Structure 1
């Protein structure tokens, strides 16, 4: 991804021998060349291809080169160089006035033509880089909206994402459920050098060894597979610690070899993608328990991003709640309810175990109550407790139950860990490991 690709020239000429001659010249220069015989075919070609320059004959049956020039958006599309044996000065001046990059007469001088094409291609790439920079600055404000907050942890996270976005480094994102790990992964992708490339998300907990090759590698002559669908883009491995051990070995091989062997194929297919992974678990504990391969972890954690839990960002609560209230007020077409002193007190008193996802749900309940003429943040929180959402996976459900049970035991025994462990029927060491794994703050529980 970091190597500068060769220029790609699209040739449009109805003369077969001229097309072949131009293709050979351009390929001899070390560039890529594609050719079509009619200008009418260019629009369809541009749907799936991005040439650096279009080199077009002027006089052709049907749509002429001048007609083609008039049909293209020369401000945003590739530059057009016209070539003709019938050209004259007025035609050249008119073509350039109408947006052509240059005009070349046949018979052409090869070196001069290649110089014109090189200059046009370099200018186009510079224009595209400037446009990506402008888009990046625009998306920077979008990143501020996605990763809201002014706490030191959040501002550092935004800086890290911007620094890492245009690299190929493997990134492991750590954070509790609901902290926005996939949002961070998508931000890394969207702010990178190829935001239009694929972003393929895999729930590792749902991968099964018996179907892995078919689903991930594809079947020769039938399907490409999900890993090949991520080619030149980003592969996002969510819940990586929940990946079955046999699948981990196969993923490691793909990441190391950068190739896949489709089922039924005799030769592997090269595939390149950036790997971003995420987990809500302690990876060192997962490795020690043999649930995560250490060699796979070393391939995934070139850089580690840690997303802070919402309970550590209490200074951001008002901003986040206001943002979500405004969002849902627009969705449900009502005025956003104002936050009262009691609402702010309820926000600050809650521990937010579901993090930003939970806060967003509470904001929606508050807006829905406002549609009926009442409601408060405290009532929205109480509704959340009474109608607690079922976690997405069994692992999350077990973790939520363990978190609640351990927290209750610690409070009941006033922080005496030996007594809490005995009441739970587990050893003190196991209790300590679970407290770390579940992200419990013993001091906050008391």
Structure 2
């Protein structure tokens, strides 16, 4: 069961004894009752993103419960409102549900029923606010120009800062990361944030181009240079003039071609096949690999001189398992993109969905997560949007987290989101999460989170 400590519950009733009785019942269950004798007084104290539930009688002088319900829903349609109706007043209860009430209680009611209703309402409210925080953070990160490095973990923030710094200097870059970590996205981010951003970005997958044609693809050829060369061809390097060439899977480049690439990097000229005329180049080169190039060079599988020429600036791209707290935010980002592209809507993640995301080891990294998000949008309706069912058949070659590890990670992720949403202001975070200040500080220490790191958002 979710920790109820300090979850606020507004109790609105013009009869003092009902306010007192309901308040005592909820307080014993661990909630924080906030009694009001009128709807007007309660609305005056209803803050934005109120973290709890509203319980109100319908029959009251002045503004009645139905009018209160309509005003609360106008301010925040996700805030659960539980209305108390008179005995046998079924028509009013039906109208309340039609107007959007979370539920209704019929007088007289048992305290256990009130507690259970508030428990379900507060859990729904917590999930609504967490998904709202994810969406707000996503929108903030999407305001940055070019491709976004989505995430708030220290490793992705350091990467974002390095991308920002490297983009301003003219240096070739080597990206190192596992399959699916987003090396192409990082390359595009460097390019688009650089002075070359308005010029071509030419991506070449060295492992996908046949060895027999890769030299022509990269450097071009003259008419008649070889059988079938019926006209001059401008190669990828020349086409990228003024911009950036991205060489993905550079470890797949044939050794013979690596010699020519080294010369291009040193001299910034090329020669088309069938020509001895050098063509000057104004390009930046970003290469990417998923293997240890130094070890490959020592094994004779990659040219050592080319490795050292590329190794001037190296950026490691972290796998998802090293930035687990970012996974729900990334999932929502991919789901939003898929929903926009397909004109389909999907509900926000529930607690079980977030837990499933955090428990998986993601050997395919962001690419695997993106594929799951797309299935969630396109096929989720067929399984009631249960992520565990959508993830069946997905390979997981890594170790599963234990239940205590999942709980710890889930808690850390929720606290991190709240810190980001409230810019590190501890008082607001305590209220948002329903935690006493000492409890929050204990959890921050245990999870190695520092509120001051969230005071200013880094521009990825």
* Whole-angstrom CA distance in 2 between matches of 1:238 and 1:272: 20
Q: 1:188 aligns to what?
A: 190
Question: Is 1:360–2:331 an aligned residue pair?
Answer: no
8 Å Cα contact 2:219-2:271 kept in structure 1: yes
Change (3 A) 1:306 1:161: same
Change (3 A) 1:334 1:267: closer
Question: Is 1:284–2:286 an aligned residue pair?
Answer: no
Question: Is 1:216–2:189 an aligned residue pair?
Answer: no
* Whole-angstrom CA distance in 1 between matches of 2:275 and 2:294: 37
Cα deviation 1:34-89 (Å, max 9, x = unaligned)? xxxxxxxxxxxxxxxxxxxxxxxxxxxxxxxxxxxxxxxxxxxxxxxxxxxxxxxx
C-alpha displacement of 1:330: 3.1
8 Å Cα contact 2:346-2:376 kept in structure 1: no
Change (3 A) 1:352 1:252: same
Let me know the Cα RMSD of the aligned residues. Answer: 2.4
Q: 1:244 aligns to what?
A: 254
Q: 1:149 aligns to what?
A: 151
Q: 1:430 aligns to what?
A: none
For the residue of structure 2 that corresponds to 1:197, the secondary structure is coil
C-alpha displacement of 1:139: 9.7
Residue-pair matches, total: 252
Instruction: Give the counterpart of 2:163 among 150, 153, 161.
Output: 161
* Whole-angstrom CA distance in 2 between matches of 1:339 and 1:207: 40
* Whole-angstrom CA distance in 1 between matches of 2:367 and 2:256: 32
Instruction: Give the counterpart of 1:330 among 324, 333, 340.
Output: 340
For the residue of structure 1 that corresponds to 2:221, the secondary structure is coil
* Whole-angstrom CA distance in 2 between matches of 1:183 and 1:242: 20
For the residue of structure 2 that corresponds to 1:275, the secondary structure is strand
* Whole-angstrom CA distance in 1 between matches of 2:210 and 2:261: 12
Alignment of 1:297-446 (within 5 A): 297-372=307-382, 374-385=384-395, 404=397
Q: Under a length normalisation based on structure 1, what TM-score does the superposition of the two structures give? A: 0.53
8 Å Cα contact 1:232-1:272 kept in structure 2: yes
Instruction: Give the counterpart of 2:271 among 243, 261, 271.
Output: 261
Q: 2:199 aligns to what?
A: 197
* Whole-angstrom CA distance in 1 between matches of 2:379 and 2:212: 48
C-alpha displacement of 1:195: 1.2
* Ranges in structure 1 where 5+ consecutive residues have no aligned partner: 1-137, 386-402, 409-446
Which fold has the larger relative contact order, with Cα–Cα distance below 8 Å and residues 6 or more apart in sequence?
A: 2
* Whole-angstrom CA distance in 2 between matches of 1:317 and 1:139: 15
Change (3 A) 1:143 1:350: farther
C-alpha displacement of 1:193: 0.6
Q: Under a length normalisation based on structure 2, what TM-score does the superposition of the two structures give? A: 0.51
* Ranges in structure 2 where 5+ consecutive residues have no aligned partner: 1-139, 224-231, 400-460
8 Å Cα contact 1:317-1:347 kept in structure 2: yes
Bigger drift between 177-186 and 251-260 goes to 251-260
Q: 1:176 aligns to what?
A: 178
Alignment of 1:82-161 (within 5 A): 141-142=143-144, 146-161=148-163
Q: Which has the higher helix share?
A: 1
C-alpha displacement of 1:272: 2.5
Q: 2:283 aligns to what?
A: 273
* Whole-angstrom CA distance in 1 between matches of 2:332 and 2:141: 21
8 Å Cα contact 1:245-1:293 kept in structure 2: yes
C-alpha displacement of 1:143: 5.6
